[in-house]
A and B are shown apart, each in its own frame.
Chain A
């Protein structure tokens, strides 16, 4: 028999590593409870259509497609939209592990430990600010000084629509913006986007992030260029969230090129960064259409933390 070791992308946590994880989880849960959030523990396996293509799927004995938990937010949305339908606002938190395929078409999996919060049934900028502040505070209780980089997928979608971009072009633009790849973005815009406000606004997306104190200028400039009512509204939502989030407990900065997020984000989107981690340690955003998929259309906003990245940094 082969010596049994954990599959690549998964690991055993022993002794001090396990103790550290539990300590961090406990501090986070206490903080979430203090903010008025209640824990939900969804199952580790679900009907596959709850998750996206990154989920690890299998057929059960009846031929039904099931999946390992790939995303807590989708599960919390399902719970909120079914058993808790119509109860607003809901403040829910979770912790546990998710399993995803490394890429949607690949065999290899990875398991990640997460904790996070969802605020359901409140579509206001104050709700965005509450989630931003709680994400910052969560880093704070772990003794980590972080940065929150705030953008909006809604703004990007509005610009792509105003530019008349096909799904292929929108995907290519999104990828170039996400990589801060100004040469590629410029090339795509010159070849495929007609000159005008939308084009100028898209080119602005690859600019470096601005601290909260300088964000007003950036947003004002973007508002001047806003090619549509949707784009203007998305920008005003960022401004409103910034205004409401006075002391987020972490450095908050605006990066209109922060377009990366899960497929269901519709409005503000943000990523969390902390010294010592080469990748984001968490992220979140607004998802106002996800609950509708489960029959109870209500706005929601939330965040999740990557505990594999955060626990080694926590003091």
Chain B
């Protein structure tokens, strides 16, 4: 029996399309079902999670494998295998600031940066030796820079339209993101006979 962590949100549909190719299909429609665990044929089941929670479920073995963005894999710090890059869910994790604002002009003090990604952001700035004052938000990150709460933001950028409409511009790119297959380290060894055919069909 394999337990698959299926992400909610924008990654769900492309993930289900890919899984269908590997004949892994949930018995009920995850978008409408109220079940938390959905059987998928006789040998598998799906747990439906926010994609930020996928790495933890898989690391701790409550799910054997799952799909989430590379941003969530790295931000969680979870110890996982990441054997497949699906190529969908593409976006970039970017540092952005109000257009025309020079971030280097703020060097007299720590740069104030708002983000949903405190680990990736602090690592990136630490590698550059730039001191930051991180503000950890849970949503509407752009607003932080627009309203003057912070000097800049680090957030996912897909088309750049939201940034543009709010007078923000990309300053630098931290990470190229796409959806990854994540697999528990022990499950990869112990359920290799079930996992390998599935991974071959997904790749």
Which residues on A are within 8 Å of B, measured CB to CB?
147, 149, 179-184, 206, 208-209, 253, 255, 273-275, 277-280
Q: Which residues of chain A are within 8 angstroms of B190 by Cβ–Cβ distance?
A: 147, 273-275
Q: Which residues of chain B are within 8 angstroms of A147 by Cβ–Cβ distance?
A: 189-190
Instruction: Give per-residue flags for B173-196: 1 if the beta carbon is below 8 A from chain A beta carbons, else 0.
Output: 000000000011111111010001
A179 touches B82 (CB 8 A): yes
A149 touches B83 (CB 8 A): no
Assembled-state Cα–Cα distance A279/B59 (Å): 8
Q: Would you call B99 an interface residue if the criterion is a C-beta within 8 Å of the partner chain's C-beta atoms?
A: no
Across the interface, A208 reaches (CB within 8 A) one of B85, B185, B192, namely B192
Q: Would you call B50 an interface residue if the criterion is a C-beta within 8 Å of the partner chain's C-beta atoms?
A: no
Question: How close is A289's CB to chain B, nearest CB, in angstroms?
Answer: 27
Question: How close is B64's CB to chain A, nearest CB, in angstroms?
Answer: 9
B185 touches A206 (CB 8 A): no
Across the interface, B80 reaches (CB within 8 A) one of A149, A179, A255, A275, namely A179
Given contacts A179-B80, A208-B196, A278-B60, 19 further A-B contacts (CB under 8 A): A147-B189, A149-B189, A179-B81, A180-B81, A180-B83, A180-B183, A181-B83, A182-B83, A182-B84, A184-B85, A209-B189, A209-B192, A253-B189, A273-B190, A274-B186, A278-B187, A279-B79, A279-B185, A280-B185
B83 touches A278 (CB 8 A): no
B81 touches A278 (CB 8 A): no
Across the interface, A279 reaches (CB within 8 A) one of B83, B84, B85, B186, namely B186
29 contacts between A and B (CB under 8 A): A147-B190, A149-B189, A179-B81, A179-B83, A180-B81, A180-B82, A180-B83, A180-B183, A180-B188, A181-B82, A182-B83, A183-B84, A183-B85, A184-B82, A184-B85, A208-B192, A209-B189, A209-B192, A255-B189, A273-B190, A274-B186, A274-B190, A277-B61, A277-B186, A278-B59, A278-B61, A278-B184, A278-B185, A278-B186
- List the 7 closest pairs (A to B, CB-CB), nearest first: A278-B61, A183-B85, A180-B83, A273-B189, A180-B81, A181-B82, A273-B186
Q: Which residues of chain B are within 8 angstroms of A183 by Cβ–Cβ distance?
A: 84-85
Assembled-state Cα–Cα distance A182/B184 (Å): 16
Chain B residue, CB-CB nearest to A208 = B196
Query: What is the total number of residues of chain B having a CB less than 8 Å from a CB of chain A?
Result: 20
Question: How close is A238's CB to chain B, nearest CB, in angstroms?
Answer: 17
Assembled-state Cα–Cα distance A209/B83 (Å): 13
Assembled-state Cα–Cα distance A274/B185 (Å): 11
Q: Which residues of chain B are within 8 angstroms of A275 by Cβ–Cβ distance?
A: 190
Instruction: Give per-residue flags for B82-114: 1 if the beta carbon is below 8 A from chain A beta carbons, else 0.
Output: 111100000000000000000000000000000
Assembled-state Cα–Cα distance A273/B192 (Å): 12
Chain A residue, CB-CB nearest to B61 = A278
Assembled-state Cα–Cα distance A290/B60 (Å): 33
Q: Which residues of chain B are within 8 angstroms of A149 by Cβ–Cβ distance?
A: 189
Chain B residue, CB-CB nearest to A181 = B82
Question: How close is A168's CB to chain B, nearest CB, in angstroms?
Answer: 12
Assembled-state Cα–Cα distance A149/B189 (Å): 8
Q: Which residues of chain B are within 8 angstroms of A181 by Cβ–Cβ distance?
A: 81-83
Q: Which residues of chain B are within 8 angstroms of A274 by Cβ–Cβ distance?
A: 186, 190
Assembled-state Cα–Cα distance A181/B196 (Å): 15
